[in-house]
Structure 1
Amino acid sequence: MNSTEKGFLAFDSIFDLFSFTGHHPDAKLSPSRQHPSTFSLSKTGMNIVKAVHGCRGDTVKMTGSARSSSGQRQVSSIKHVKKSVDNMDLGRMNPQHCTRIVVLGAPKVGKTNLLQRFLGKDFKENYEPTREDFYRKLFHIEGETYRVDLLDAAGERDFPAKRRLSILTGDIFLLVFSLDDRESFREVCELLSEIKSAKTKFLKMKTPAKVPVVVCGNKADLGTQQRLVGRSEVLKTLSDDVTYVETSAKNSLGLEILFPTLARLGALPDETSPSRHEIVPILSYQSLCQRGRRHEPSAPCGAVDPLARRPSFTTDLKLVLGSSTKQNKPERCQIQ
C-alpha cells in the first residue's frame, strides 16, 4: 500500500477517532453553532489528523484556489476588494446570523442553477459538471448583517468521509432530485438517511435527530408524460419533519416557496429571499457595513462575496470538534 492510499484510509476512518460528550438532548443540531463541553484527542489521534492533513494538503490547496466550473468568479470587476468581506465585518456579526446550506444530489438535477437563482443570477441552459462550488452571500437587513454560505458538494459522491465532514458542518440541507429521474430520487432518500444518522451519532442522541432539510423536486416545468416521480409518492416516502418543494430553476416555479423555507429553517429574515432584497455591488455592501448604525437603516440588500472560498479541511474539522483549548476539563479520547 503506498503513502497516498494510507492517507485516504486514515481520512475515511477519522470520524471514528473522536469522543464527544456533554451534549444536552435539546441542543441545536448544527455543530457550527455549538461546541462539545469536553473534548480532546490523544497523541495518536492528533498524529493521524496531522498525517491526513499532510496527505491531503495539495488537494485542499487546489480546491481553495480553483474557480467554479459553473460560473466565473468576477474578481476582476472589483479589484479594490483585497480580501473576503466577511473577514472585515465578522467581528460585528452575530454568530447566530451565520448559516451554511449544504446542497446534495445526483448530477444533472439542477443544483447549480438553483444556487445561481439564490445568488440573483440567470438560469444557464448548458450543463457543466460541478466538482465543488462554494458561494457566500452577505446581507444587510435593518442594520444587521447576515452571512449565508452555500456549499454545492457535488464532487463528494465518491468520497464518503469528505461528505460526512460537509454534513457535520451544515446548518441546513437542500437535497435536490429531478422529477424525470427516479434514480436521483432514490439517491436523495439515501442522503437523507445518511444525514440523520451522522447528526444523531454526533449529538449522541438515542432517537433520530430532527434535521433542517428541504427536499426539492426540480424540473417541474416538464410535462406530465416526462415526469417519473409523482408528488404523492414523494410525500408518502418522506417523513413529516421534511419539507418537500417542487421547483423549476428554468422558469422560477416554486422558488418563492423554496427560498423562504430555507430562510425559516435557518432563522433568517424573510428578506434574505432573492425577491425581497436588492442586489448591490460588493463595494457598496462594504461601505454600508462600515457606516454601521450611524445612519438610518437602508432597504434590505445583498451582495455575493467574490473572494469567498470553501474553508480548508483543517478549518472545517476544527469547526466540528470545537476548540479544545477553551475547555476547562478536557477528557481524553480513549484511543489505544
Structure 2
Amino acid sequence: MNATERLYLPVDGILAMFDSLTGHYLSHTAHPVLQSTALTPVLQHPKVSNISKTGMGIIKTVKGRWRQQDKRAVASRSSSSGNRQVSADRLPKRSVDLLELGLTKPRNCHRIVVLGAPRVGKTNILQRFLGGEFEERYEPTTEDFHRKLFHIRGEAYQIDLLDASSERDFPAKRRLSILTGDIFLLVFSLDDKDSFSEACELLSEVKAAKAKLLKMKSAAIVPAVVCGNKADLVAQRAVSRSQVEEILGEDVSFFEASAKDGSGLEGVFRALASVGGLPAETSPSRHRLLPILAYRSLCVGQRGRRGGRARGLGAPCAALDPLARRPSFTSDLRLVLGSSTKRSKPEKCQVQ
C-alpha cells in the first residue's frame, strides 16, 4: 500500500460514517471540502495541513448532526405526553425542582411510592395518572421515576412517583424507598392470590418501617391505598372483595380497578389525594396538561404578582418533567436521617 492509499482510506471510513448519520450521499451535500475529498482521486501525496482541515470539517459537521438528533429526541420526549412541540433549545437544562427554585413550599412536595408484585399493572396505572394510555405489551420495570407538577388555585405542587419494582429482591433499597415515601400505592392483581399476599406483606413492612422511624411502639397508620387491578378479567378472578376487606380492615382504602379500560382508577387517584392531603384536582380528569415551559412561566408569573387578587384564577393545570431523575441514594439517606433527627437525638440509619 502506497502513501496515497494510506491517507485515503481513513477519510473514506469517516465519510461512510457521515453517510450513515445524515442518510444521504456526500455527492448531494453542499460541503465543498467533503465533495472534493470523497469524489476526487488523490493523485499526489496530500499535505498534512489539508488533511487536518478536511478531518476537522468532517468532525464539526458530524458533531452538528449529533446535536440536532439529540435536540429532536428531547423535544420528542417532551411532546409524547400530549404536549405541543417545544423547541429543544428552550427546554430546561435539568430536572425542574420547584422547591429548589423557590416556586413552592415543602408541604406541597410529596413522593408516591408504588409497590407490588411483578405483572400486576403498576406501570400502566402510573401511566394513567401521568395522562398516558394503556400499554398492552409487558416489559419488566427496573425502576421508574416520574415528576408531575401541578398549579391549582394559585399554588404549585410537586408530586414524585417512584415505581420501586427493581427493589423486590433488595430489602435495604426497598426500605429506603419506603422511608422516603409520603403516600403509598400498593397494587395486586385480582386474578392472582399470591400477588395479594405480597401486597399485604408490603403494607405491613411499610407500617413497621414508618413506626420505627417515628419511634412508635405499634404499627403506624400510613397514608396508603390498595388497588386490586385487572377487574376486567371477571372470569379469572381469584380474590373477592370480602376477602380483601376482611384482611385489610378499615384503616386502608381499597379499590378495584382496571388499568386497561380505566374503570375504577378515578377513585384510586381521588383516594391518593385524600390520604396524602393533596387537592382533588390532582386527579387526571380534573386538570389539563401543559408543556413544561408554559407551566414554569405560569409559576414564575404567579410568584411575581403582588396582592391576592390573582390567586385562584385559571383552571387547574399540570406538566410532566421530561428530565426527572430519581434523587441519589445519598440524598435519600440524608432526607431520612434529617427527618429522624428533627424528632429526637441523632441516631443510626434506619435502613438496615
Please tell me the TM-score bracket, short chain as reference. Answer: 0.7 to 0.9
Alignment of 1:111 with 2:160, yes or no, is: no
Bigger mean CA offset, 273-282 vs 288-297: 288-297
Specify whether residues 170 and 119 from structure 1 end up closer, same or farther in structure 2 by C-alpha distance, changes over 3 A only: same
Asked if 1:74 is matched to 2:77, the reply is yes
What residue in structure 2 maps to residue 123 of structure 1? Answer: 134
3-state SS in 1 of match to 2:115: strand
Q: Any idea what SS the aligned residue of 1:148 has?
A: strand
- Relative contact order, higher structure (CA 8 A, sep 6+): 1
Residue 85 of structure 1 deviates from its aligned partner by 2.1
TM-score, normalising length: structure 2:
0.70
Contact 1:102 1:153 in 2 (8 A): yes
Deviations 1:10-44 (A, max 9, x none): xxxxxxxxxxxxxxxxxxxxxxxxxxxxxxxxxxx
Task: Check 1:323–1:96 CA distance in 2 against 1; reply closer, same or farther (3 A cut).
Answer: closer
Q: Deviations over 1:44-86 (max 9, x none)?
A: xxxxxxxxxxxxxxxxxxxxxxxxxxxx981586522212222
Deviation (angstroms), 1:92: 2.9
Cα deviations by residue, 1:265-294 (Å, 9 ceiling, x for unpaired): 111111110000001111110111111153
1:182 CA displacement: 0.8
- Please tell me the root mean square deviation across aligned C-alpha atoms, in Å: 2.3
Q: Percent identity?
A: 64
Q: Which residue does the alignment assign to 1:308?
A: 324
* Aligned match for 1:206, one of 214, 217, 231: 217
Rounded to whole Å, the distance in 1 between the matches of 2:219 and 2:339 is: 26
| Partner Cα distance (1:257, 1:272) in 2 | 12
Q: Which residue of 1 aligns with 2:149?
A: 138
Contact 2:103–2:300 (CA<8 Å) still a contact in 1?
no
Structure 2 equivalent of residue 322 of structure 1: 338
Partners of 1:91 and 1:200 lie apart in 2 by 31
Confirm or deny that 1:234 pairs with 2:244. yes
> Relative to structure 2, which stretch is displaced further, 305-314 or 293-302?
293-302
Which whole-Å CA distance do the structure 1 matches of 2:197 and 2:346 have between them?
A: 40
The offset of 1:98, in angstroms, is 0.6
Structure 1 residues 87, 172: CA separation in 2 closer, same or farther (over 3 Å shift)? closer
What are the equivalent positions in structure 2 for 1:1-336 lying under 5 Å apart?
A: 74-75=77-78, 78=86, 79=88, 80=90, 81-86=92-97, 90-223=101-234, 225-293=235-303, 294=305, 295=310, 297-322=313-338
SS of 2:102's partner is helix
Counterpart secondary structure, 2:299: helix
Structure 2: runs of 5 or more not aligned: 1-74, 80-84
- Give the Cα–Cα distance (whole angstroms) in 2 for the partners of residues 289 and 127 of structure 1: 37
State how far apart, in whole Å, the 2-side matches of 1:192 and 1:115 are: 19
Larger radius of gyration: 2
Instruction: Kindly state the Cα deviation for residue 239 of structure 1 after the two structures are TM-superposed.
Output: 2.4
- In the other structure, the counterpart of 1:6 is none
5+ residue gaps, structure 1, are 1-71
Structure in which a larger fraction of residues adopt helix: 2
In 2: Cα distance, 1:150 partner to 1:73 partner = 22
Displacement of 1:261 in angstroms is 0.5
Structure 1 length-normalised TM: 0.73
